[in-house]
Homo-oligomer: A and B are copies of this chain.
Amino acid sequence: MFRHVVLLRWTEDATEEQKAEVARRLGELPRLIPELKSYRFGPDAGINPGNFSFGLVADFDSPEDYLVYRDHPAHRAVIDECIAPILAERAAVQFALPPDGDPAARPNS
């Protein structure tokens, strides 16, 4: 598996409606992009000062499937129409998920 992680910071003048529209539009992508095997996102919980505004984690079978998502017209449309207008800062990483599973999910590891 291959994981894409992105954190976004919204501009100070971003409205609640604009932020909600980002989540609504992203929520449409799993049925449009079957390469998405897991797709979880949400607004920052507000526990820690200095955090970014919004987090997203997407899992794919392979780096190639991630590229399909990255460049998919439906995804690019959400970025161009909803995210870019309220984006102040962005941080991203893609990393391989080890095939031997999750160390925290292994009993007596």
A42 within 8 A of B: yes
Identical copies in the complex: 2
**Contact present for A39 and B95 (CB under 8 Å):** no
Q: Contact string, A41-73, partner B, CB cutoff 8 A, digits 1/0? A: 111110110111111011100010011001000
Q: Which of B41, B44, B53, B94 contacts A48 (CB 8 A)?
A: B94
Within 8 Å CB of A66, what residues of B? 47
Q: Which of A51, A91, A95 has the most CB of B within 10 A?
A: A91
**Contact present for B38 and A91 (CB under 8 Å):** no
The distance from the CB of A49 to the nearest CB of chain B, in whole angstroms, is 11
**Contact present for A52 and B92 (CB under 8 Å):** yes
